[in-house]
Amino acid sequence: MVIKNVALETVCGVTSTLPVNDKIEVAFAGKSNVGKSSLINALMNRKALARTSAQPGKTQTINFYNINNAMYLVDLPGYGYAKVAQSEKEKWGRMIERYLQKSQMLKAVFLLIDIRHDPSANDKLMYDWILYNGYEPIIIATKLDKIKRSQVQKQVKAVREGLGMKGGTVIPFSAETKQGRDEIWEMIDAWIAE
Ligand code: GDP
């Protein structure tokens, strides 16, 4: 994808009506700080359009970025802030569930996991929850530049095992070097062309 136009078109809060789009959507989920904003900015060739590291307690929203009027990158709110109240976590859960169940144009869900760490219990829950909703998560193993090249295979294996993956795809990615970016766009471009 050659990026020509990007725009944050819709921001949905807990009670907002979800947009009815006529172009495909791909969504990104992951624990806060995993590098989701950095990935989305890298995909869009923008430095800071997607917010980075939203603070705990800040409004959790689902953000729809319109790319070239051809598709939407959908930024789901991050999870895993220990300090967030249970009531907030429940609202977060309902909002994401509503999106996964209702969106007519959602093509795929990418789940981001830090390549340096074994998946957490929340990562595993998120993985299973995406599967349960009918999507096989595509894993993006983030912060690839932070480990030695010789460690990559071992860490990818740990991610696969930690999530209990039976097949599926893991794409190592670095927002610093942009490694993995083309592979992600190739997948998305193929869905647009379907
Ligand atoms: P988010 O909370 O998931 O949106 O995470 P951010 O994109 O804000 O990233 C959290 C922190 O990790 C920031 O300090 C980023 O600069 C850093 N970061 C994100 N991706 C990478 C990466 O690929 N490589 C390195 N070295 N740092 C990264």
Rounded distance from Cα 174 to ligand 1 centre (Å): 9
Burial class of residue 82, CB neighbours in 10 A (0-12, 13-18, 19+) = exposed
**Residue-level pLDDT at 191:** 96
Domain ranges of the chain: 6-193
* DSSP-based three-state secondary structure for 115: coil
Torsion, Cα of 145, 163, 157, 191 (10° steps)? -70
Rounded distance from Cα 34 to ligand 1 centre (Å): 6
The CATH superfamily label for domain 6-193 reads: P-loop containing nucleotide triphosphate hydrolases (3.40.50.300)
Residues in contact with ligand 1 by the CB-under-6-Å rule are 30, 32-38, 52-53, 78, 142-143, 145-146, 174-176
ipTM over 0.90: yes
Atom of ligand 1 nearest to the CA of 31: 3
Rounded distance from Cα 8 to ligand 1 centre (Å): 20
Distance CA 42, CA 184 (A): 11
pLDDT > 90: what percent of the chain?
79
pTM for the model: 0.95
**Which of 189, 171, 191 has its CA nearest to residue 181?**
171
Q: Is the pLDDT of residue 57 over 80?
A: no
Q: Return all residues near 162 (Cβ < 8 A) that are at least 6 apart.
A: 113, 118, 119, 123, 124
